[in-house]
Amino acid sequence: MASVDAVVDLLGVLAYGELSGFDHLVDDARLAPELTSRVAMSDVAASDYANYQRLVARLGALGADPFAAMTPFVAALEGYHALTAPSTWLEAVMKAYLGDGLAGDFYREVAAFADGETAALIDDVLRASDRAELAVAEVRGAIVIDPSVAGRLALWGRRLVGEAISQTQHVLAERDSLMLLLVEGTGDVAGTAGLITRITERHEKRMELLGFTPG
Amino acid sequence: MASVDAVVDLLGVLAYGELSGFDHLVDDARLAPELTSRVAMSDVAASDYANYQRLVARLGALGADPFAAMTPFVAALEGYHALTAPSTWLEAVMKAYLGDGLAGDFYREVAAFADGETAALIDDVLRASDRAELAVAEVRGAIVIDPSVAGRLALWGRRLVGEAISQTQHVLAERDSLMLLLVEGTGDVAGTAGLITRITERHEKRMELLGFTPG
């Protein structure tokens, strides 16, 4: 069983992830070509905010100050968003789907060893956000209309996974409690090497779902 | 009893008001001096989005296309937001409170003659958002610390009410159904003159609550 400190760290990074995700998705929704697609992304943002509120409630129930719990992770998550600011609607849609998937893969790996109630909440929060439908429809459609966009978007996908892994490593290097949780949770004493391999593989599956060919 | 067209117009302008309010509040929350106040404003934004979703559901129940219902009001509401973009946290807090109050005053005047279920929903939606607490604490506190800010903020309050009234007049001039609803709802055959007086008076009450002296 993980220490309370580690669980508070985990809930803190997850809560700030949902809060900053909400914040940036609302911005990115402005890139939408029309009101219907803008609202589709705003819906995702609103569900991120509901997740944030549930995680903050859990932090409160554990006796932790939610703001103190989130603060250590603000720089890493804002760094990720600053380095992956989408400049087109397709980039925004890909980020919403792939970034969420990357975060979900990481949290699932470490959540297993949290207390039962926290683990169930995290599982539920990760399940609540499904952006695949929007992303698949928009990206596949765009590649069919203009195959020349595929190359640029494939690079964008690689940038998203690269920055996500880089920021995750920063966070793990600074928070011993999370690194311990990861080692306990995965049984992988090598730390992040195996995690990165697994996260990259799942990212590739999502890229294929979007219509990109592997390689 | 108002025509269905008028009710669809009313729900449409209200829904886009909540959607654009949500959108701009999330932006404005970035002006917050710290994470706690940023989250206080994000909470308001999230409740706007929940209101938006309820209004869209009501439009659907009436057999109307929510996007078609909102489209006629996009320009006026985005115009209002473009002309009242806050440049400081105190301006943002004042706009969240005063702008919401102005909108509420207007909608309450015209909602009375909608069908019972719509009127109850609108009343409930308007009740759901109470931003007075945040605004009063922040603005009163700032004026106590530095009385010289009061003059500039009082001008900002006047700008907010001026732009709100101006955009309302644009909307009413273009949408006969809403103008009819207003005349029916208020019994005021002179149209907007009485409405503007009443809205301005209530705005002044809110300014006093924020710590500004009348005059």
For residue A188, pLDDT over 80 is answered with no
Q: What's the CA gap between A209 and A205, in Å, rounded?
A: 6
Q: How close, in Å, is residue B26 to chain A by CA atoms?
A: 6
Name which of A30, A39, A70 is nearest B35 (Cβ-Cβ).
Answer: A70
Q: What's the mean pLDDT when you consider all of chain A?
A: 88
Identify the pLDDT of residue A155. Answer: 93
Can you tell me which residue has the tokens 């701009």?
A: B24
Contact yes or no for A1/A181 (Cβ under 8 A): no
> Once rounded to an integer, what is the mean pLDDT over residues B7-20?
93
Kindly indicate the confidence band of residue B129, based on its pLDDT and cuts at 50, 70 and 90.
low
pLDDT at A128 over 80: no
**Vertex A71: Cα angle to A66 and A74 (nearest 5):** 125
Whether A130 shows a pLDDT value over 70: the answer reads: no
Residue with tokens 């998937």: A101
pLDDT value at A9 more than 60: yes
Residues 6+ apart with CB under 8 A from A106: A168, A195, A199
**Residue B89 to residue B101: CA distance in whole angstroms:** 18
Q: Is residue B92 scored above 80 in pLDDT?
A: yes
pTM of the shown model: 0.84
Would you call A139 an interface residue with chain B, using a CB distance cutoff of 8 Å?
Answer: no
A13 vs B126 pLDDT, higher one = A13
The beta strand positions in chain A, using DSSP E, are none
Q: Do B138 and B26 contact (CB within 8 A), yes or no? A: no
* Mean predicted confidence (pLDDT) in B106-119: 83
Q: Which pair of structure tokens corresponds to residue B110?
A: 């015209």
Q: Which residues of B touch A32 (CB under 8 A)?
A: none
Task: Copy the structure tokens of residue B51.
Answer: 């209101």
On whether any CB of chain A is under 8 Å from the CB of B42, the answer is yes
A213: buried, middle or exposed (CB in 10 Å: 19+, 13-18, 0-12)?
exposed
**For residue B32, what are the contacts with CB-CB under 8 A and spacing of at least 6?**
B38, B40, B41, B89, B92
The pair of three-digit structure tokens given for residue A103, joined into one six-digit string:
């975060």
**Mean pLDDT on B21-31:** 94
Residue A95 near residue A160, CB atoms below 8 Å = yes
Q: pLDDT tier at A96 (50, 70, 90 boundaries)?
A: very high
Distance CA B93, CA B132 (A): 9
- Hey, what are A54's tokens? 């549930």
pLDDT band at B2 (very low <50, low <70, confident <90, very high): low
A50 interaction partners in chain B (CB closer than 8 Å): 46
Q: Is A116 left (phi over 0), alpha (psi -120 to 50) or beta?
A: alpha
The amino acid at B196: I
- In this predicted structure, the answer to whether residue B1 has a pLDDT above a threshold of 70 is no
Which amino acid is residue B86, in one-letter code? P
Whether residue A67 lies within 8 A of chain B, CB to CB, comes out as: yes
Which amino acid would we find at residue A188?
D
For the record, the structure tokens of A181 come out as 């949780």
Q: 3-22 in B: which are within 8 Å (CB) of A? A: 19, 22
* pLDDT higher at B42 or A112: B42
Q: Is the pLDDT of residue A126 over 80?
A: yes
The residue count for chain B: 215
Residue from the list A36, A53, A67 with its beta carbon closest to the beta carbon of B36: A67
The answer to whether B36 contacts chain A (CB < 8 Å) is yes
User: pLDDT value at position A71?
Assistant: 94
**pLDDT tens track for B155-199:** 999 999 999 988 888 888 888 888 887 777 677 766 677 888 888
**pLDDT tens per residue across span B36-88:** 999 999 999 999 999 999 999 999 999 999 999 999 999 999 999 999 999 99
pLDDT confidence of residue A110: 79
Alpha helices for chain A (secondary structure H): 4-28, 35-61, 66-70, 74-83, 89-111, 116-128, 132-145, 149-174, 176-186, 192-209
Residues of B whose CB is below 8 A from A70: 35
